[in-house]
Structure 1
């Protein structure tokens, strides 16, 4: 059977790797938007993770005439008004992990309530507009300093009690087993063939 081509609307090589590890064994060929030239500029002006993921996936699916998956993920810390939320990637500017982490630690200060969770909305859109949506959540807490170097974004600050380590201290397999994106991808695995 010929490989089934799916485009992931990301330029993030870490994120792409997670999709490849999950979908390629199922017979899908996974590409990123960096494999194509005619990708439009996309303004993610949605009010929710699902809206932003849908905006991204729809724009790229129309441009490439291929099925596209996009996710919008973020960290939510209830004690600081659910920040950074949909602004997670640009919390302290534009996609600067170190600055984002520093701002988060400063906002939390010496707070005792450091509970947090990561949320992913994963949306697939076909060129004809048919949509699929799954989501995933992982709960944890924000540490007072960074630990580990096998992650990106807020991973060095996000401690998962059941694993006794931060996301950035986990192996890829460990992270995929508990992460919000991993959980969304696991859900996707159960429904993607029917949607396809």
Structure 2
């Protein structure tokens, strides 16, 4: 089955292709000729995920799935949340985002946080939604060289390594994205 993954993010693509294996032929936005930055105008992760999937289906007529992810930090009332990728500005720079987040947590003893991913699949004009989350803590400084986004400052509960210190395979066993994608893959296998 051919499916488009509505992303330009090569790191996400690598992570998801590893989860999907050879069961599906994964197309990227570039493969279908979409060079646009798909708008994320809504206030929730679920709405933005759905909007991206709707946009690709309406504009290009292909079955696709789109994800949106946010990091919610308790001490910051859920920030950066839906604005995680552009927390420090429209340049979407991970280092700037982490620096601002750590600065905003200065003096806070409460470091609880959670990553949430929502995936929306549009298949034959029907929308399906899958969610995954992982609880953890924000540490005080970056550690690790793998992953992307906030991975160097997030330690999942029950572990002593950040996502950026884990291999892709280790992270895939417990990440928010892998949990949401496992639900998507199970659904697709039943409907393939």
TM-score interval (norm. to shorter):
over 0.9
Alignment of structure 1 residues 132-147 onto 2, 5 Å: 132-147=128-143
- Aligned to 1:101, which of 95, 98, 101? 98
Local SS of the residue matching 1:152: coil
**Contact 1:72/1:122, CA 8 A, preserved across alignment:** yes
Q: Secondary structure at the match of 2:131?
A: strand
**Is it true that 1:79 corresponds to 2:75 in the alignment?**
yes
| 2:6 equivalent to 1:9 | yes
Question: Which stretch shows the higher mean deviation, 90-99 or 160-169?
Answer: 160-169
The residue that corresponds to 2:186 in the other structure is 190
**Greater mean alpha carbon deviation, residues 34-43 or residues 169-178:** 34-43
- SS at structure 2 position matched to 1:178: coil
Query: Which whole-Å CA distance do the structure 2 matches of 1:141 and 1:38 have between them?
Result: 36
Distance in 2 of aligned mates of 1:39 and 1:159: 34
Structure 1 79/38 Cα, relative in aligned 2: closer, same or farther at 3 Å? closer
- The match for 1:114 is 111
Q: Which of 153, 170, 181 is 1:174 aligned to? A: 170
**Distance in 2 between the 1:172 and 1:46 partners?**
30
Deviation at 1:39, TM superposition (A): 5.1
Instruction: Choose between structure 1 and 2: higher helix proportion.
Output: 1
TM-score (norm 2): 0.94
- Cα distance in 1, alignment partners of residues 32 and 182 from structure 2: 27
What is the number of residues matched between the two proteins?
191
Aligned to 1:31: 27
In the alignment, the residues of structure 2 paired with residue 52 and residue 114 of structure 1 have an alpha-carbon distance, to the nearest angstrom, of 26
Unmatched tracts of structure 1, length 5 or more: none
User: Which residue is 1:50 aligned to?
Assistant: 46
Using the size of structure 1 for normalisation, the TM-score is: 0.92
Contact 1:120/1:136 (8 A) holds in 2: yes
Shift of 1:81: 1.2
CA distance in 2, matches of 1:135, 1:187: 8
Query: Aligned Cα RMSD in Å?
Result: 1.4
Q: Which digits, 9 at most, give the CA deviation of each residue in 1:124-161, with x for residues without a partner?
A: 013x4201111000010000000001011000000123
From the superposition, tell whether residues 106 and 46 of structure 1 become closer, same or farther in structure 2 (CA, over 3 Å): same
Q: Does 1:162 align with 2:158?
A: yes
Deviation at 1:41?
5.0
